C-alpha cells in the first residue's frame, strides 16, 4: 500500500473520531441541558411544597394559639363556676340555719302561746 493512501485513511479515521467525539459532546450537553431543566422543575416543585408546608405550619400555629386561648377561657369559666357553686352552698347553709332558727322560734311561740 502506498503511503499517501495510508495517510488519507488515517486522516479520515481521525476526522471520523473527531466527528464522533463532537457528536458525543453535543449529546452529553443536550442531556445535561435536559437534566438542568428537570432539576429546575423539581426545585420549583420543592419550593411550592415548602411554601404549602410553611402555610400549613402557620395555620397550625394559629389553631394552637386559638386552642390555648379557648382552654384558658374554659378554665376561667370553670373557676367562676366553682366560686358560684361555693357561694350557693354557703347561702344554702345560711338559709337552712335561718329556717331551723325560725322553726325553733315558731315551736317556742306555740308552746308559749296561751291560745293554742
Q: 15 falls in which pLDDT band (50, 70, 90)?
A: very high
Instruction: Report how many helices (DSSP H) and strands (DSSP E) the chain contains, helices first.
Output: 1, 0
Please check whether residue 110 is in contact with residue 116, taking contact to mean a CB–CB distance below 8 angstroms. yes
SS3 helix, strand, coil % of the chain, rounded to 5? 95, 0, 5
Q: Which pLDDT belongs to residue 109? A: 83
Q: How many Cα atoms sit within 13 Å of 52 on the Cβ side?
A: 6
Q: Which pLDDT belongs to residue 95? A: 94
Rounded to whole angstroms, the Cα distance separating 94 from 92 reads 5
Residue 115 above 80 pLDDT? no
Owner of C-alpha cell 419550593: 47
Q: Read off the pTM.
A: 0.51
Beta strands in the chain (DSSP E): none
What percent of the chain lies above the pLDDT cut of 90?
Answer: 82
Question: What is the arithmetic mean of pLDDT over 69-94?
Answer: 96
Q: Which pLDDT belongs to residue 67? A: 98
Amino acid at each position: 500500500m502506498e503511503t499517501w493512501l495510508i495517510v488519507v485513511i488515517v486522516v479520515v479515521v481521525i476526522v471520523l473520531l473527531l466527528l464522533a467525539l463532537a457528536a458525543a459532546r453535543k449529546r452529553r450537553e443536550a442531556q445535561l441541558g435536559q437534566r438542568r431543566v428537570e432539576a429546575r422543575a423539581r426545585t420549583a416543585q420543592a419550593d411550592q411544597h415548602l411554601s404549602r408546608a410553611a402555610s400549613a405550619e402557620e395555620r397550625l400555629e394559629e389553631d394552637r394559639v386559638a386552642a390555648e386561648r379557648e382552654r384558658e377561657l374554659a378554665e376561667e369559666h370553670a373557676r367562676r363556676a366553682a366560686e358560684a357553686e361555693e357561694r350557693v352552698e354557703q347561702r344554702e347553709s345560711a338559709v337552712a340555719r335561718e329556717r331551723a332558727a325560725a322553726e325553733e322560734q315558731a315551736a317556742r311561740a306555740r308552746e308559749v302561746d296561751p291560745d293554742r
